[in-house]
Amino acid sequence: MIRFTRVTKSYPKTGTAVQDVNLSVGKGEFIFMTGPSGAGKTTLLKMVYMEERPTSGEVRVSGTSSVTATPRDVAKLRRKLGIVFQDFRLLEDRTVEQNVSFALEVIGAPTAVIGGKVARVLTQVGLAAKGRALPRELSGGEQQRVAIARALVNDPFALIADEPTGNLDDRATRGIFQLLREINASGTAIMMATHNLELIRRQEFRTIEMNRGQIVFDSAEPGSAANAP
Amino acid sequence: MIRSMRDAFDTFQRSPLLSALSVTTIAFSLFALGLFGLVALNIREALERLEDRVEIRAFVTDGTPAEDVVRAATDIAGFPEVLSAQVVTQEQALKRAQTELGEFRDVFEGAILPGSIDLRLRAGMRDPATVKRVASRVKAFSFIDDIRYGEEWIEKLYRLRNIAGIAGLALGLAFAIVSVIIIGATIRMAVLARAREISIMRLVGATDAYIRRPFLIEGFAKGVLGGLFALLLTWLAQSLINRYVIHTIFFDARIAVLGLLFGAMLGLVGSAVSVGRHLRRV
> What value does the mean pLDDT take over residues B119-141?
84
Q: Cβ of A71 and B207 within 8 Å? A: yes
Model confidence over B236-257: pLDDT tens digits? Answer: 999 998 889 888 888 888 988 9
Q: Cβ of B210 and A89 within 8 Å? A: no
> What value does the mean pLDDT take over residues B34-62?
79
Amino acid at A159: L
**B27 Cβ neighbours under 8 A, 6+ residues apart:** B225, B226, B227, B229, B230, B233
Query: For A60, how many CA atoms within 13 A lie in the half-sphere containing its CB?
Result: 9
Q: SS3 sequence, B239-269?
A: HHHHHHCCCCCCCCHHHHHHHHHHHHHHHHH
Q: Cβ of A78 and B210 within 8 Å? A: no
Give, as one character, the DSSP assignment of residue A99.
Answer: H
How many CB pairs (< 8 A) connect A and B? 45
On the question of pLDDT at B109 being above 60, the answer is yes
Tell me the C-alpha distance between B32 and B22, whole Å: 16
Instruction: Please give the pLDDT value at position B43.
Output: 75
Instruction: Please give the pLDDT value at position A226.
Output: 41
B202 touches chain A (CB under 8 A): yes
Tell me the C-alpha distance between A59 and A51, whole Å: 12
Model confidence over A152-161: pLDDT tens digits? Answer: 999 999 999 9
Which residue would you say has higher pLDDT here, B25 or A44?
A: A44
Residues for chain B: how many in total?
A: 282
Confidence bin at B110 (pLDDT 50/70/90): low
**A63 Cβ neighbours under 8 A, 6+ residues apart:** none
Smallest CA-to-CA distance from B58 within B50, B48, B66, B69 is with B69
The per-residue b/e assignment along B119-155, b for 16 or more CB within 10 angstroms, e otherwise, is bbbeeebbbbebbeebbeebeebeebbebebeeeebe
On the question of pLDDT at B152 being above 80, the answer is no
* Strand pairing class (A206-211; A189-193): unpaired
B167 touches chain A (CB under 8 A): no
> What value does the mean pLDDT take over residues B129-137?
86
Amino acid at A165: T
Count Cβ atoms below 10 Å from residue A81 Cβ, excluding itself: 25
Q: Cβ of A78 and B202 within 8 Å? A: yes
Model confidence over A174-184: pLDDT tens digits? Answer: 999 999 999 99
Q: Cβ of B201 and A106 within 8 Å? A: yes
Q: SS3 sequence, chain B?
A: CHHHHHHHHHHHHHCHHHHHHHHHHHHHHHHHHHHHHHHHHHHHHHHHHHHCCCEEEEEECCCCCHHHHHHHHHHHHCCCCEEEEEEECHHHHHHHHHHHHHHHHHHHCCCCCCCEEEEEECCCCCCHHHHHHHHHHHHCCCCEEEEECCHHHHHHHHHHHHHHHHHHHHHHHHHHHHHHHHHHHHHHHHHHHCHHHHHHHHHCCCCHHHHHHHHHHHHHHHHHHHHHHHHHHHHHHHHHHHHHCCCCCCCCHHHHHHHHHHHHHHHHHHHHHHHHHHHHHC
Phi first, then psi: what are they for B259, rounded to 5°? Answer: -60, -45
Q: What percent of chain A has pLDDT over 90?
A: 86
Residue B205 has its nearest CB partner, among A89, A91, A107, at A107
Count Cβ atoms below 10 Å from residue B212 Cβ, excluding itself: 19
On the question of pLDDT at B44 being above 80, the answer is no
Residue B206 has its nearest CB partner, among A75, A77, A91, at A75
* Strand pairing class (A30-34; A206-211): parallel
Q: Cβ of A106 and B203 within 8 Å? A: no
**A107 Cβ neighbours under 8 A, 6+ residues apart:** A79, A154, B204, B205, B206, B210
Which residue would you say has higher pLDDT here, B122 or A58?
A: A58
Chain A partners of B206 at a C-beta cutoff of 8 Å? 75, 106-107
What are the distances in angstroms from CA B102 to CA B42, B94, B98, B107, B113?
Answer: 32, 12, 6, 10, 17
> What value does the mean pLDDT take over residues A72-77?
95
Instruction: Please give the pLDDT value at position B108.
Output: 65
Instruction: Please give the pLDDT value at position B124.
Output: 78
Minimum mean pLDDT among A22-31, A53-62, A67-76, B1-10: which range?
Answer: B1-10
SS3 A147: helix
Instruction: Please give the pLDDT value at position A215.
Output: 95
Confidence bin at A224 (pLDDT 50/70/90): low
Sheet containing B144-148: give its strands across.
B82-88, B116-121, B55-60, B144-148
Interface of B with A in 181-200 (CB under 8 A): 196-197, 199-200
Residue B206 has its nearest CB partner, among A49, A91, A106, at A106
Q: Cβ of A89 and B196 within 8 Å? A: yes
Amino acid at A221: E
**Angle B47-B48-B49 (CA atoms, 0-180°, nearest 5)?**
90
Q: Cβ of A78 and B196 within 8 Å? A: no
Tell me the C-alpha distance between B197 and B213, whole Å: 14
Confidence bin at B86 (pLDDT 50/70/90): confident
Residue B210 has its nearest CB partner, among A89, A91, A106, at A106
On the question of pLDDT at B122 being above 50, the answer is yes
Chain A: which residues have CB within 8 Å of chain B? 49, 71-72, 75-79, 83, 89, 91, 102-103, 105-108, 150, 154
- Which runs of consecutive H residues, i.e. helices, occur in A50-110? 71-78, 96-105
Confidence bin at A207 (pLDDT 50/70/90): very high
Phi first, then psi: what are they for B40, rounded to 5°? Answer: -60, -45
Q: Cβ of A102 and B204 within 8 Å? A: yes
Tell me the average pLDDT of chain B: 83
The alpha carbon of A133 is separated from its chain's Cα centroid by a whole number of angstroms, namely 25
